[in-house]
């Protein structure tokens, strides 16, 4: 068993990486919205979302599949909101 402080330090390091990756994902989401707008492509792509959900569950593995899938639902929802804001900006 690891000492509590070591666990906390590890979580802090992981959180920094997660925040960085989420910020990068938001940046790419914004670029995607601009591309979709320029090409007249709708924001929502049901097939793409379903593929993403399946892939995430597969990557998570059986032990963490449900919690990771739940977190990704929030990421998908927020990504669509961000794209909608960009897509319909003046």
- The answer to whether residue 90 scores a pLDDT higher than 80 is no
Give the residue numbers spanning the domain of 41: 4-87
Number of domains composing the chain: 1
C-alpha to C-alpha distances, 15 to 4, 9, 81, nearest whole angstrom? 16, 10, 23
Give the position of tokens 């929502």: 44
Q: pLDDT by residue (tens digit) across 12-69?
A: 999 999 999 999 999 999 999 999 999 999 999 999 999 999 999 999 999 999 999 9
Q: What pLDDT, on a 0 to 100 scale, did the predictor assign at position 38? A: 94
pTM for this model (two decimals) = 0.86
Q: What is the mean pLDDT of residues 74-88?
A: 93
Q: What is the CATH number of the domain that holds 18?
A: 1.20.59.10
- The answer to whether the CB of 61 falls within 8 A of the CB of 41 is no
Token digits for 1? Answer: 């068993």
Place 89 in a pLDDT band, splitting at 50, 70 and 90: confident
């Amino acid at each position: 068993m690891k000492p509590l402080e070591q666990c906390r330090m590890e979580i802090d390091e992981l959180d920094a990486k997660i925040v960085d990756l989420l910020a990068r994902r938001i940046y790419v989401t914004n670029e995607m919205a601009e591309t979709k707008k320029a090409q007249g492509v709708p924001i929502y792509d049901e097939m793409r979302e379903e593929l993403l959900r399946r892939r995430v569950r597969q990557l998570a593995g059986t032990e963490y599949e449900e919690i990771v899938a739940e977190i990704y639902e929030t990421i998908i929802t927020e990504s669509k909101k961000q794209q909608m804001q960009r897509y319909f900006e003046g």
